[in-house]
């Protein structure tokens, strides 16, 4: 999916919501079996009830890999349920030397047909470029994450800057706002403002609104650009909105509530 | 496998060779089908011909993931062929927020029964700790990699140090030399000396000897400690030593030649 299609979808749905399918086989609601088939049924129901409010779905690949070969089949099936005009993200956080990154790109872009993959920048340009070589596909680089450990290395001082700022400045030259986005944790709004100085045009994938404590209003105030330029991810608060048989309806209500908040910002 | 068993094996075999099973379905030799079953047959033959010279096998997971669900089954089967006293490494370069890293740990330690996994440190302590929580398992953190992109962020200056040195200093406190190792590219021997000042006791997993240009003698001179403390990985130069029907014999000869060089250093 190209950038203009994504922006068009955001304006049409008045939403920049990404639903995170961190679907855990141990947390299936009432009426869903704790099995690979259960996960497929769960994801299908969640997608059907949230698709009108979401512009993206993000599959946290670890939750599927933990099931081995069966998990890969669950990912394949899940992707089939996602409407073709909705952006898909493999939250896989890959990155390795060139020929190995190329293998990962094949796995997620060619075999599973994801639109995008999250990529860890630590190994530098030749670990990211193989993902950028795929026409029409996106790399979403980790810049500043939302977890406590983000303070261990990402914010180390480099002169007057910090590591994650150098990651933004350097890596932005490897691709363009047409094929790169960045993961930016939403826990500190003032950091978002600084990030927008460095990369005014890229889309940001923002976890941590809601469950992890970020504020939607602050994120929009400091992180939005003229194209909105944001995908706000919400996982557990939507997919586990209810542990009862009404889990899908509850997920739909939660997604609708997020979209209702986003609507005013798109307008 | 614990540290003392690994060291004992190194002394017995007089080898610190790790064979990298970066087995590419497109590069199968004569007589091996370009299929998942072909990969299994190939890995089995390579393992049988190299096991007496190697103390570790490293599976580059990207090469298997690129085949989807079938690739996971190839990994499972391959692990069954590796003798139980040989150390196994999932070269997966994972790392994510806590609950997600825990899922990856389950995938590679519990389901696939690897002894160790390579971990990307960019997301900090809570992204690494879930791997360290597994008794008897190892995390092998990326510190300084051997690819050109290692110069993009890993060597950025932090005061008088560089990012990768901070990674070593900080992360060494998260575990111990009993459950952590580091990936250190062998392309610059003087860096190995500096690394040994920071982490004198940890094992180092060293790619880049041979095909990527490092010298075994230099690596041992600057990187070895009293327990040897090195695993030298060799992938393509062993597994693709011949593209003919004699590929397994050729791989065995190549591994034997590496072991013969290592023997004098262990003695």
Beta-strand pair A161-162/A157-158: antiparallel
A243 within domain boundaries: no
* A100, part of any domain: yes
The pairing of strands B116-119 and A116-119 is unpaired
Q: Which residues are paired to A19 by β-bridges?
A: A57, A234
Residue B222: DSSP 8-state: H
Residues A259, A47, B107: CA angle, nearest 5 degrees: 115
- Cβ within 8 Å, pair A97-B73: no
* Token pair in block for residue B54: 């190697």
Taking 60 as the threshold, does the pLDDT of residue B88 lie above it?
yes
The Cα–Cα gap between B202 and B6 comes to: 12
Q: What is the pLDDT of residue B93?
A: 98
pLDDT in tens, B207-259: 977 655 558 888 999 999 999 999 999 999 999 999 999 999 999 999 999 99
In B131-211, DSSP assigns E strands to 138-144, 157-158, 161-162, 180-184, 203-206
| Nearest residue to A237 via CA among A206, A256, A211, A217 | A211
What whole-number distance in Å separates Cα of residue A181 and Cα of residue A116?
Answer: 9
Residue A210 confidence (pLDDT) above 70:
no
pLDDT at A214 over 90: no
Q: Is the pLDDT of residue A196 over 70?
A: yes
Candidates B60, B76, B163; nearest CB to A156: B163
- Where does the pLDDT of residue A267 fall: very low under 50, low under 70, confident under 90, or very high at 90 and above? confident
Q: Is residue A50 part of a domain?
A: no
Q: How far apart are CA B244 and CA A20, in angstroms?
A: 47
Q: Considering only CA atoms, which of B7, B1, B4, B14 is closest in space to residue B258?
A: B14
> How distant, in Å, are the alpha carbons of A55, A205, A248 from that of A14?
9, 17, 22
Question: Does A46 fall in a domain?
Answer: no
Q: Any residues with CB less than 8 A from the CB of A202 and at least 6 apart, and which? A: A172, A177, A180, A181, A182, A229
Rounded to the nearest 5°, which phi and psi values hold at B64? -90, -40
How many helices and strands in chain B, by DSSP H and E? 12, 10
Q: What is the pLDDT of residue B74?
A: 98
Burial class (CB in 10 A: 0-12, 13-18, 19+), B249: middle
Cα–Cα distance, A20 to A237 (Å, whole number): 9
- Whether the CA torsion B108, A20, A212, A104 is positive or negative: it is positive
Mean pLDDT of A181-191: 85
The separation between CA B166 and the C-alpha centre of its own chain, rounded to angstroms, equals: 22
Q: Quick one: what percent of chain B has pLDDT higher than 90?
A: 92
Q: What is the CATH number of the domain that holds A179?
A: 3.20.20.70
Domain that holds residue B125: 3-266
Fill in the DSSP letter of residue A108.
I
Closest residue, chain A, to B112 (C-alpha) = A68
Q: Which of residues 142-201 of B touch A (CB under 8 A)?
A: 142, 145-154, 156-159, 163, 166-167, 170-171
Cross-chain residue pair A73–B69, CB shorter than 8 Å: yes
- Answer yes or no: is A63 within a domain: yes
Tokens at residue A129, please? 């470029």
What average pLDDT does the segment A110-129 reach?
Answer: 98
How confident is the prediction for chain A on average, in pLDDT? 95
Domain count, chain B: 1
In the block, tokens 């919400």 appear at A234
H/E segment holding residue B92: strand B87-94
Residue A51 placed within a domain: no
Q: What is the pLDDT of residue B190?
A: 81
User: Residues near A40 by Cβ (< 8 Å), separated by ≥ 6?
Assistant: A74, A77, A78
pLDDT digits (tens, 9 = 90+) for B96-120: 999 999 999 999 999 999 999 999 9
Half-sphere exposure of A195 (CA within 13 A, CB side): 33
Contact of A121 with chain B, judged by CB distance below 8 Å, is answered with: yes
Task: Report DSSP state, residue B209.
Answer: B
Nearest CA in chain B to A74: B69
A167 → closest Cβ in B73, B112, B153: B153
- Flag whether A30 is in a domain: no
Share of chain A above pLDDT 70, in %: 97
Specify the pTM. Answer: 0.97
């Amino acid at each position: 999916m190209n950038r203009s299609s994504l922006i068009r979808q955001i304006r049409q749905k008045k939403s920049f919501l990404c639903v995170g399918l961190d679907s855990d086989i141990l947390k299936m609601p009432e009426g869903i079996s704790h099995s690979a088939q259960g996960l497929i049924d769960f994801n299908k129901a969640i997608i059907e009830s949230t698709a009108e409010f979401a512009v993206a779905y993000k599959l946290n690949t670890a939750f599927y890999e933990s099931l081995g070969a069966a998990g890969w089949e669950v990912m394949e099936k899940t992707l089939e349920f996602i409407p073709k005009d909705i952006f898909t993200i493999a939250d896989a956080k890959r990155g390795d030397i060139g020929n190995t990154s190329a293998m990962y790109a094949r796995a997620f872009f060619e075999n599973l047909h994801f639109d995008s993959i999250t990529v860890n920048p630590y190994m530098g340009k030749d670990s990211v470029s193989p993902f950028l070589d795929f026409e029409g596909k996106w790399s979403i680089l980790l810049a500043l994450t939302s977890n406590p450990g983000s303070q261990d290395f990402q914010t180390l001082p480099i002169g007057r800057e910090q590591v994650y700022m150098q990651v933004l400045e350097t890596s932005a030259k490897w691709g363009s706002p047409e094929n790169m986005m960045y993961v930016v944790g939403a826990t500190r709004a003032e950091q978002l403002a600084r990030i927008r100085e460095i990369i005014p045009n890229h889309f940001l994938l923002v976890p941590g609104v809601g469950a992890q404590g970020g504020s939607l209003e602050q994120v929009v105030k400091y992180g939005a650009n003229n194209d909105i330029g944001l995908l706000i991810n919400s996982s557990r608060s939507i997919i586990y909105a209810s542990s009862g048989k009404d889990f899908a309806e509850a997920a739909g209500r939660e997604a609708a509530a997020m979209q209702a908040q986003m609507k005013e910002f798109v307008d």
